[in-house]
């Protein structure tokens, strides 16, 4: 009887130790709300390209809130209505001004990469000079904790900034 009782105690202790060990290695679940935008300017080619990466579920929530339209971006890449919604959303929440002139970004499209979406815009025949000012409020309406990282590269000179909601304007002097 003593032997069986000791075995139970050992098994209970071992099981408890395993549970404690497993709990200590389980990552703390925390949702991060962050976007990344790359702006590349090439004076020789006269181009300005914008690539924005956002988490797909966050972007879908933003589209739902702003356009009152539920979309599944993972299966809608060629859907013209979804592309129009996305283009309108980007136009309203991301603006580039160079040398005091507001640029008209042309939406090129988007692609899905795992749980994120890359959105692409461009300005062809770009001939701007001066300070680059960017207004970025992407996903601010949906997530008060949203942060947007922005990298601007003009002819090989890179500058970066992080905007956290409600900050929305960044300036890059070249």
In a domain, 105, yes or no: yes
- What is the C-alpha to C-alpha distance for residues 72 and 169, in angstroms, rounded to an integer? 30
* Contact present, 121 and 91 (Cβ < 8 Å): no
In a domain, 9, yes or no: no
According to the model, what pLDDT value does residue 31 have?
Answer: 80
Q: What is the DSSP string of 45-88?
A: TTEEEEEEEEEHHHHHHHHHHHHS----TTS-TT-HHHHHHHHH
Please tell me what DSSP assigns to residue 167: -
According to the model, what pLDDT value does residue 32 have?
Answer: 82
Dihedral of CA 75/81/87/92: which sign? negative
> Structure tokens of 159?
């500058």
Domain of 136, in residue numbers:
32-172
> Structure tokens of 124?
């062809």
In a domain, 3, yes or no: no
According to the model, what pLDDT value does residue 99 have?
Answer: 94
In a domain, 74, yes or no: yes
According to the model, what pLDDT value does residue 77 have?
Answer: 78
* Contact present, 96 and 112 (Cβ < 8 Å): no
In a domain, 94, yes or no: yes
* Contact present, 33 and 145 (Cβ < 8 Å): yes
Please tell me what DSSP assigns to residue 90: H
In a domain, 62, yes or no: yes
Q: pLDDT by residue for the chain (174 residues), tens digit each?
A: 444 455 555 555 554 545 454 444 444 444 889 999 999 999 999 999 999 999 999 999 999 999 999 999 998 878 899 999 999 999 999 999 999 999 999 999 999 999 999 999 999 999 989 999 999 999 999 999 999 999 999 999 999 999 999 999 999 999
Write the pLDDT tens digit of every residue in 122-144: 999 999 899 999 999 999 999 99
Domain count, the chain: 1
According to the model, what pLDDT value does residue 105 have?
Answer: 97
According to the model, what pLDDT value does residue 18 have?
Answer: 52
In a domain, 25, yes or no: no
According to the model, what pLDDT value does residue 79 have?
Answer: 87
According to the model, what pLDDT value does residue 28 have?
Answer: 47
């Amino acid at each position: 009887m003593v032997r069986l009782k000791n075995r139970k105690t050992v098994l209970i202790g071992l099981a408890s130790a395993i549970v404690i060990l497993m709990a200590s290695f389980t990552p703390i679940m925390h949702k991060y709300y962050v976007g990344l935008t790359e702006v590349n300017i090439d004076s020789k080619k006269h181009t300005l390209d914008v690539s924005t990466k956002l988490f797909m579920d966050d972007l879908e929530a933003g589209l739902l809130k702003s356009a009152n339209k539920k979309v599944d971006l993972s299966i809608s890449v060629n859907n013209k209505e979804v592309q129009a919604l996305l283009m309108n959303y980007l136009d309203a929440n991301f603006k580039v001004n160079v040398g005091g002139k507001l640029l008209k970004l042309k939406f090129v499209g988007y692609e899905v990469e795992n749980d994120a979406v890359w959105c692409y815009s461009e300005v062809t025949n770009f001939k701007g000079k001066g300070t680059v000012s960017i207004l970025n409020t992407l996903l601010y309406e949906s997530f008060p904790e949203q942060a947007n990282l922005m990298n601007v590269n003009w002819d090989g000179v890179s500058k970066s900034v992080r905007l956290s909601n409600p900050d929305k304007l960044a300036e890059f002097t070249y």
